[in-house]
Chains A and B, each alone.
Chain A
Amino acid sequence: MVRSLHLAKASFLSAKRYRIDWYGAFLTPLLTILPVVLLYYLGTESGLVRFFYGATNTKNIVGYLLLGAAYWNYVEVLWGSVFALRYYMRIGQLEELFIMPVSSIGYILSWSVSGLVRVTVESVPIIVLAILMNLMTFNLVRLALAAGVVVLSIIASFGFVFLFFGITLRFREGDELVSLLGNAAPLIGGMFFPVNVLPKGLEYFAYAFPFTWGLDLSRHFLMNTNTLLGPKKESIFLLALSFLYLGLGVISFKILQNRARRKGLQGF
C-alpha cells in the first residue's frame, strides 16, 4: 500500500512537470459538450428546451451537461490505468514492472489514485461551474447523497479497470476495449440526454451500465431532475451493479493474470 502511494506520488509529480497536459485535460470535457451548448444557443433553442423540460424537468441544459462532464471525468479517469499498462508494454518495460516488489493491484491503485488526484484538480473549474449553474436546486444533504452515488460509481469503475487490466495482460488489446467503451460511455451513459431517447438496442445496453443509473441519480440529487425509474429503485440497481461489476472484475483479473503469467508476458 505504501509503495503504491509512493508510486502514485511519483506519477503525480512527473505529471506536474508538463503544464500543457493539464490544459488539454481540462479543456477536452468542456469542448466535448460545447457543440451541444451551441446547438442550444444557435438556432434550436426552442426544440431542445421543450424536449429537456418535458423529459427531465429542467430547462438548465448547460448545468445538465456540465454535471454529466464532471461525473464522467471521475468514472473514466480510472480506466487510464489500462493505457498506462499498455504504454509500459509498448516501450518494453512491462517485465521490469512485474519484477518490482509491487503487485498488479498495487499498480492499479497507484495509477488510479494519481488519476483521481489529477482529475480533481482538472475538474475544479467544471465542478464550480456545475454547482453555480445548479445552485438553486440542491442542499447539503442532497450534495452528500450525490457524493455517495459518485463513490459507488467509482467502485463500479474499479470493476471495469480490473477486467480491462486482465484482458490487456492476456490479450494485449485491452486498451482498444477501454477506448471503445470510453468513447461509447458518454452517449450510452446519458451524459448528453436521458438514455430513453436512444434507439432501443442502445437503450437496453445502457441499462446494464452502472454509470447510467449513477449519473441519473447524481443529477436527480443536484438538479432535481426526473429519474428513469425512481430514486429508490435506481439506488438499489446502482448498488447491486457496482458490487457485481467489482466482483466480476476482480475474479476475471485474477484468472487472466494467472493465464498471462503462465503463457509469458513478453512482447506486445
Chain B
Amino acid sequence: MMKMFHLVLKEMKIRLKYKFVWVNMALTPFFIIGPYVFSSKIADVNSLAESVLIGALLWYWLNQYFFGVGDGFTEEREEGALISVVLAPVSLLTFLFSKAIDTFLMNLYITFFTLLFFALCGINLEIHPYFFLLLVVSGVYITFFSIFFAALSLWKKRIRSINSATQFFFGILSGMVNLVENFPSYVRLVSYMIPLTYLISIGRNMIKHGSTSGFVPQLLVLTCLSFFYLILGIWLLKRAENEIRRKGEWETW
C-alpha cells in the first residue's frame, strides 16, 4: 500500500512541475463533451442536455482511465524506462493501481471544472451526496475495465493506436448520448457487456429521480461484470509479462 502511495505521490509531484497541464485538464473536457451537450440543447428536448452531460462526463472518466491506466505502460516503454518498472520491487498490478488512484484524483479535478463551466453556460446538474458515491464506484469499476485494456496493450503493443477509437466505441455503445434502450437488440447485447452502460444508467436515474431506488440489480450486474474484466485482465497481464520476459522484449517498442 505504501509503495502505491509513493508512486501516486511521484506522479503528482511530476505533474505539479508542469503548470499548463492543469489548465489543459480543467478546460479540455468541457470542449470535448461540449459538442454533444450543446447539440442536445439545440434539439429543444427538455432535460436531454442534462442527461447527455452525465453520460458524456462518465464517458470522459473512462477516457482518462484508458489513457492513464489502459495506456499506462506506453510512456515508460517509449522512454526506455519500462525495464526499470519491471526491476523495481513493485508488481505491474500495483503500478497500474497507482496510476488508477492518480487518474481518480485528476478526474475529480476535471469533474469540478467541467460542471462549473457547463453551469456557467446554463446547464446544471443537480448534485447530491449519492453523486459522489457514483464517482467513487465509477473510479473503481472503470479501473478494473482499464486494467484489462492495459494487459492487452502490454501484450500487443500497437493496440494503443486504437485507444481513442475504442473509447468512442465504448462511449457510443454505452449510451453516452442516447438511451441504450433505443438501440437495436443486437447492439444492446454488446452494450450490456460494457460496465460504463450501467454506470451511465445509474447516474441518469439518480439525476432524474434524485434517489438511488431501484439501482441495486444494476449495481450487482456491474460488480460481477467488472470483477470478470479484472480477473481476465490480471490473467492476461501475467501472461503478457511472462511472454515478454521469455522473449526479452522489455526494451523494444
A interface vs B, CB < 8 Å?
A: 18, 20-21, 23-25, 27-28, 31-32, 34-36, 38-39, 42-44, 47-48, 50-51, 87, 90-92, 172-173, 176-177, 179-180, 183-184, 186-188, 191-193, 197-199
Selected A-B contacts with CB under 8 Å, 25 pairs: A23-B165, A24-B164, A27-B162, A27-B165, A28-B164, A31-B168, A39-B40, A39-B43, A39-B177, A39-B178, A42-B178, A43-B182, A44-B43, A44-B45, A47-B44, A90-B79, A91-B79, A176-B18, A176-B20, A176-B23, A184-B28, A192-B39, A193-B42, A197-B38, A199-B121
Contact in complex: A31, B169 (CB < 8 Å): yes
Minimum CB distance partner of A48 in chain B: B43
* Contact partner, B34, options A39, A44, A187, Cβ 8 Å: A187
Asked if B79 and A34 make an inter-chain contact with CB atoms under 8 angstroms apart, the answer reads no
- Asked if A180 and B28 make an inter-chain contact with CB atoms under 8 angstroms apart, the answer reads yes
B134 interfacial by beta-carbon distance below 8 Å:
no
Instruction: Determine whether B21 belongs to the interface, using a CB cutoff of 8 Å to chain A.
Output: yes
Contact of A179 among B28, B44, B45, B162 (CB under 8 A): B28
Which residues on the B side are within 8 Å of A179 (C-beta)? 24, 28
A180 to B26, CA, bound (A): 10
Contact B38 A192 (CB under 8 A): yes
Which chain A residues border B106 with CB–CB below 8 Å? none
Taking CB atoms, residues of chain A closer than 8 Å to B179 are: 43
* Inter-subunit contact B44/A38 (CB<8 Å): no
> B27 near A51 (CB under 8 angstroms)?
no
What is the interface size of chain B, counting residues whose CB is below 8 A from a CB of the partner? 46
Is B165's CB under 8 angstroms from A44's CB?
Answer: no
A199–B118 Cα distance when bound, in Å, is 10
Cα distance A186–B38 when bound, in Å?
Answer: 12
Q: What are the 7 closest A-B residue pairs judged by CB atoms, nearest first?
A: A31-B168, A47-B43, A44-B43, A184-B31, A47-B44, A27-B165, A192-B35
A232 CB to closest chain B CB (Å) equals 28
Would you give the 0/1 interface string for B40-59, flagging 1 where the beta carbon is closer than 8 Å to chain A?
10111100100010000000
Question: Does B163 sit at the interface, judged by CB under 8 A?
Answer: yes
Q: How far is the CB of B163 from chain A (nearest CB, A)?
A: 7
Q: For the complex, give the distance between the alpha carbons of A198 and B31 in Å.
A: 12
Is residue B185 within 8 Å, beta carbon to beta carbon, of the partner chain? no
Contacts of B44 in A (CB 8 A): 47, 50-51
Q: Is the CB of B42 within 8 A of A38?
A: no
**Residue with the highest number of chain A CB atoms closer than 10 Å, among B20, B158, B169:** B20
Give the docked Cα–Cα distance between A42 and B48 (Å): 12
- Residue of B35, B45, B75 with most partner-chain A CB within 10 A: B35
Are B38 and A43 in contact, CB atoms less than 8 angstroms apart?
Answer: no
Closest beta carbon of chain A to B185's beta carbon, Å = 14
CB of B161 within 8 A of CB of A23, answer yes
Task: Report how far A40 CA is from B29 CA in the complex, Å.
Answer: 23
Question: How far is the CB of B67 from the nearest CB of chain A, in Å?
Answer: 11
Nearest CB on B from A33, distance (A): 9
Docked Cα-Cα span, A186 to B159, in Å, equals: 26
Residues of A within 8 A of B35 (CB): 36, 186-187, 191-193
Query: What chain B residues lie within 8 Å of A18 (beta carbons)?
Result: 158, 161
B158 partner residues in chain A, CB cutoff 8 A: 18, 20-21
CB of B171 within 8 Å of the partner chain: yes
